[in-house]
Amino acid sequence: MAESTSPRGTDDAGRSVIHDLGYRPYTGPRLGSTAIARSLVLTGFRNAFGLGRSGRSKVLPFLLLGLNLLPALIVAGIMAFVGLDRLPIGYAQYASTTQVLLGVFVASQAPVLFSRDLRHGTIALYLARPLPSAAYAVARWLSLLLATLVFLVLPVVILYAAALLTELDVSDQTREAGVALGLAVLLALSLAGVGGIIASWSTRRGFAVVATIAFLVIANGVVTAVQGIADGEGSTRVAEVAGLFSPYSLYRGLMGAWTDADTLAPPTGAGMVAAYVVVLVGLSAACVGALVARYRREASA
């Protein structure tokens, strides 16, 4: 038996040592960093919804997702039975209406992806692999981004299906849904960045959740208050500039500029719209950069 199974021991007897038990080494293909990163993204994406984790951790994300989809399903039902000639709520407006649920989802699931490895020290196991720390940070961020996108895109898909099934104008609906998808990507980019950076900064779960919500909701509240007052005073320029200071108000502004949704002080003029996009993308890029720096520090510590 030992004669045929041991690849090294028997072929040249001179190099055989007494400890060679004949275990065969792994000779199959070894996947590189790309494959590690890809599976990390996929696992993280599943973990964000509690898949592959305990039953108790599935409750919260799916409860939030259900609450988020409920209005869309109701709208679809109304469309089917009453037969309206337009959707009662715009595709892009939907995310703005349910922004609280979206914020709570990102805030509560970001610590799942970012805090636990840091708090329990398992980050050392990841960083001991060939995967660079920057790739780990980006992979985690991508997982959160994908999960946020699912949260944002599913209602749009439901509304779109409802609109098509009740035979509204296909080209109009497709264009509006497309704009909503673009906006959803922009919002998800910034939310995932903000949620990630706060969750990796504070590894206490409860605290990270409140800090993220405080940032998102209070900033939005302050901006809305300033916009309302400035608009009432007649200085629309101030109101437009104020909109640059929170992710939700940026989303709302772009929604006002790109769709026919009625919003407070949407940016006017190509320059201002461009500024909104640049700030939104820049915020996301800055957050990813900070995440990469955060994990590089972790790797060298």
Partner 1 sequence: MNRTLFALSAQAVVGRRRGVVLLLLPLALVGLAVVVRLLTSDAVGVEATVGLGYTLALPLVALLAATAVLGPEVDDGSIVYLLAKPVSRHTIARSKFAAAWLTTTALGALPLAVASLVLDSAHPGRALALGAAGVVAGTVYTALFLGLAALTRHAVVVGLLYTLFWEGVIGSVLSGVKWLSVGAWGREVGHAVDDLVDAGGTGLGYAVVAALVVSVGSVWFAGDRLRSFTLRGDE
Residue ranges that bind partner 1, judged by CB under 8 A: 53-54, 56-57, 60, 67, 98, 100-101, 103-104, 107-108, 116, 120, 201-202, 204-207, 209-211, 213-214, 217-218, 221-222, 224-226, 228-230, 232-233, 238
Q: Minimum distance from CB of 110 to partner 1 (Å)?
A: 12
Closest to partner 1 by CB, 169 vs 233, is 233
Q: Minimum distance from CB of 95 to partner 1 (Å)?
A: 13
Q: Minimum distance from CB of 180 to partner 1 (Å)?
A: 20
Closest to partner 1 by CB, 123 vs 213, is 213
Neighbours of 274 (CB within 10 A): 11
**Inter-residue long-range contacts of 71-77, CB under 8 Å, 24+ positions, other chains counted:** 71/97, 71/98, 71/155, 72/154, 72/155, 72/158, 72/159, 72/162, 73/158, 75/159, 75/162, 76/158, 76/159, 76/161, 76/162
* d(C-alpha 221, C-alpha 17), whole Å: 73
Q: Minimum distance from CB of 215 to partner 1 (Å)?
A: 9
Helical H segments across the chain, by residue range: 2-5, 33-48, 56-82, 91-97, 99-119, 123-127, 133-165, 170-201, 205-213, 219-233, 236-242, 247-258, 270-300
Cβ distance 71 to 79 under 8 Å? no
Closest to partner 1 by CB, 116 vs 296, is 116
Q: Minimum distance from CB of 97 to partner 1 (Å)?
A: 8
Closest to partner 1 by CB, 45 vs 215, is 215
- CA nearest 283: which of 206, 207, 216? 216
Closest to partner 1 by CB, 24 vs 56, is 56
Closest to partner 1 by CB, 71 vs 163, is 71
Q: Minimum distance from CB of 9 to partner 1 (Å)?
A: 45
Cβ distance 140 to 196 under 8 Å? yes
Residue count (the chain): 301
